A = this chain, B = another copy of it.
Amino acid sequence: MPNAVIYHDTPIASAVAEATDDLTVVAAESDADVRDHLADADVFVTNPQNWTDDFLAFLSTGTWIQSTSIGYDAFPLEAFADRDVAFTNAETLHDTTVSEHAFALAFALSRRLGPLFDNQRRGDWDRRVGDEMWLWEGRRMTVFGLGNIGESVARRARAFGFEVYGVKRTPAIYSGVLPPDRVVATERFHDLLPETELLVLTVPLTDETHHAVDTSVFDALPDSAALINVARGPVVDQDALVDALETGEIRGAGLDVFEAEPLPEDSPLWGRDDTVVTPHVGGRSDDFATRFTRLFLDNYRRWRAGESLANRII
């Protein structure tokens, strides 16, 4: 019977073990557990937070790695390819969850929920916070990255009356929810900024997108703009972001991802009234184990049958 090692911070190991009778599941609880068992594993389930390149030395040729996440910048894909290791992600599991999280952040900013939560904790009925609220309807949203998540955000944004534009590496082959003339190539990203009041990042982290949102972007945005990042921290030059918030070049940020995670205790972002910080939880939901198990079982059936794997990256 094949062996799986599952190293994750939600109870997916037990869910998978319960749902399979043709797989031996080891629930690893530490890096040491992984090192003890990985050599015997045919399947390794983990996520970018738990992965460390130390594991490479223990990884057998031909192992299949299933990530529970979407982003794969933390994984050494070339080393996987060299060892004939298959790598799949969980893209189709996350798009609606992350897009709901993106709107949670956008509305938390516009309805000033941070100051209101502070007031709630004090039992303070202060209606003046209402003077700082704004309406999103009618404003321009630019979605940077039109993969599954970007499309999911764009579709919802249109129903909210945003004027939605998108940025894509290859607009010529675009076929999504936006009118084609609202989708521009990455080189034209800056053209959209002077009218953009909500910039939503949903792009993978690559050499090309690293610090794609830098001082020049904050300079170009109007001071009524806000930034939502549910992609990857390093897409944003975080020091430039802090400066832009500090000087009022933009009016808020909703951030689920950061250049360093956990966000260091001394980061000025924690204390800002115009910034919502969430600890990289955009993909989380309480039925995650059930939904992941469904995705995994489908892929495991394919793997046993020698069929091609879904969401395969390498």
Contacts and interface: CB of A to CB of B under 8 A. Distances in A.
B110 A107 contact: no
When all copies of this chain in the complex are counted, the total is 2
Chain A interface size, under 10 / 10 to 19 / 20 to 34 / 35 or more: 35 or more
Interface string A100-114: 110110011011011
A104 B96 contact: no
B159 A159 contact: yes
Contact of A104 (B113, B126, B279, B280): B113
A262 interface: yes
Contacts of A271: 121, 123
Interface in A81-120: 96-97, 100-101, 103-104, 107-108, 110-111, 113-114, 116-120
A33 interface: no
Given A107-B103, A125-B279, A276-B120, A287 B113 contact: no
Contacts of A101: 111
Interface of A: 9-10, 96-97, 100-101, 103-104, 107-108, 110-111, 113-114, 116-121, 123, 125-137, 155-156, 158-161, 261-263, 265, 267, 270-271, 276-281, 284-287
16 contacts: A9-B127, A97-B135, A100-B107, A104-B110, A107-B108, A113-B278, A116-B281, A117-B276, A120-B276, A123-B270, A126-B279, A130-B279, A130-B281, A132-B286, A133-B284, A156-B159
Given A125-B262, A130-B279, 18 more contacts: A10-B130, A100-B110, A104-B107, A108-B113, A113-B276, A116-B279, A116-B281, A117-B118, A117-B276, A125-B261, A127-B279, A133-B285, A133-B286, A134-B285, A155-B159, A156-B156, A156-B160, A159-B160
